[in-house]
Structure 1
């Protein structure tokens, strides 16, 4: 009886562990992507567009975002090896990059993320803004790429790769939903609500950045 009971429980424990890992990967990436701060720029650049076209731009941008982050996930090891960068170096540099991004979220400017006047003018003239500036740099910018590269620098199993891939897809889905409901979301939260949400994401991102640096320093001290 005890053996049979443990066999029944094992898949549940395993599933709980996988869900916990997936949730951790998702939070780490989504906190940096933070599509809420991209909403004001998205609304400005799609001003005057039909709802259908605005939704198409959001969908294409999040698909591009998925492709960009997956490229760095699966190609990150080759990039690291090509430039002769140590795993510790990637973790520390990634942590610093994430912390820098987090500080900008903790002190959000009015209206969320900003583009330069020149970039905004160029974007408005483009028939398609889904790749630039929406997918890059607003959604999959240096911060989110640094997170994925830091993951790629670890000794990952097939399961880890699958979970990180799933987390990226879920983040992209979440970003699409946020951009799709951007007009209603901005009205609902208001400036104060958006600033509060951004600061919360910034705090989570800051903690992630600090942990990456700790993970990078530990082997150096131990060695």
Structure 2
């Protein structure tokens, strides 16, 4: 009976994080941020982003509650901060300044904004913390861990196999994808901030 429950938990973790982290929706943002780079650099960015996301999710799964309590940070505050950071990136994509931004700052896009807060964002962090809080035994822990691993494997596959698309659509297509990515990312960012504001008003912050 326990194995059936573990399977249910595994599916629940995978589906929840898959919807939140959205591997398919990550593709246009990944393409826009890696356009103009070599295929090897883009491939490296894909696995680096997934590695950073997995590290952040794992750290918050084990120590998230203690970190937030020590720093006196509420979950809505974390969510609002992530939303504002994503909004800044979205504005760069919409205005076509993302290349200048990364060139001037020397930022590795695989770390920020891809790894975090896009993949390992407030939603994924909070969901993982809630799942780990419910873990009572080894099989349940293994189910949550495997669910997180499978979602990150899906994220890597989505970004890795999107590279042929980048070669196919050329510069004009990249420009279109970049604008679409900026629009989608800005909507995600505004939703995060709106949810955080609602939580503050409801007294959860």
Same fold (TM over 0.5): yes
Q: Of the two, which has the highest radius of gyration?
A: 1
Change over 3 Å in CA distance of 1:140–1:78 after alignment to 2: same
- Aligned residue number for residue 118 of structure 1: 104
- Aligned CA distance change for structure 1 residues 177 and 90 (closer, same or farther; 3 Å): farther
Deviation at 1:96, TM superposition (A): 0.4
Q: Describe the shift of the 1:146–1:37 C-alpha distance in structure 2 as closer, same or farther (beyond 3 A).
A: closer
Which of 81, 100, 115 is residue 66 of structure 2 equivalent to?
A: 81
Change (3 A) 1:63 1:117: closer
Q: Is the 8 A contact 2:54 2:120 kept in 1?
A: no
Cα distance, 1:103 vs. partner? Answer: 3.1
- Deviations for 1:74-127, whole angstroms, at most 9, x for unmatched residues? 2223254256348x934212310232144346644344734344345xxxxxxx
Asked whether the 8 Å contact 1:98–1:206 carries over to 2, the reply is no
Quote the residue 2:110 is aligned against.
135
Residue segments in structure 1 that go unaligned for 5+ positions in a row: 1-10, 47-53, 121-131
Match of 1:63 among 37, 40, 47: 47
1:72/1:138 CA distance change after superposition, 3 Å: closer
Report the counterpart of residue 144 of structure 1 in structure 2.
119
The structure-2 alpha-carbon separation of the partners of 1:216 and 1:202, relative to structure 1 and needing over 3 Å to count, comes to: same
Paired with 1:169 and 1:212, the residues of 2 have a C-alpha distance of 29
- 1:61/1:135 contact within 8 Å kept: yes
Counterpart residue number, 1:162: 146
- Contact preservation (8 Å) 1:28, 1:208: no
Equivalences, count:
188
8 Å contact from structure 1 (residues 69, 140) kept in 2: yes
Q: TM-score, normalised by structure 2?
A: 0.65
- In structure 2, stretches of 5+ residues that fail to align are 136-140
Q: Which residue of 2 aligns with 1:37?
A: 29
1:89 counterpart SS class: coil
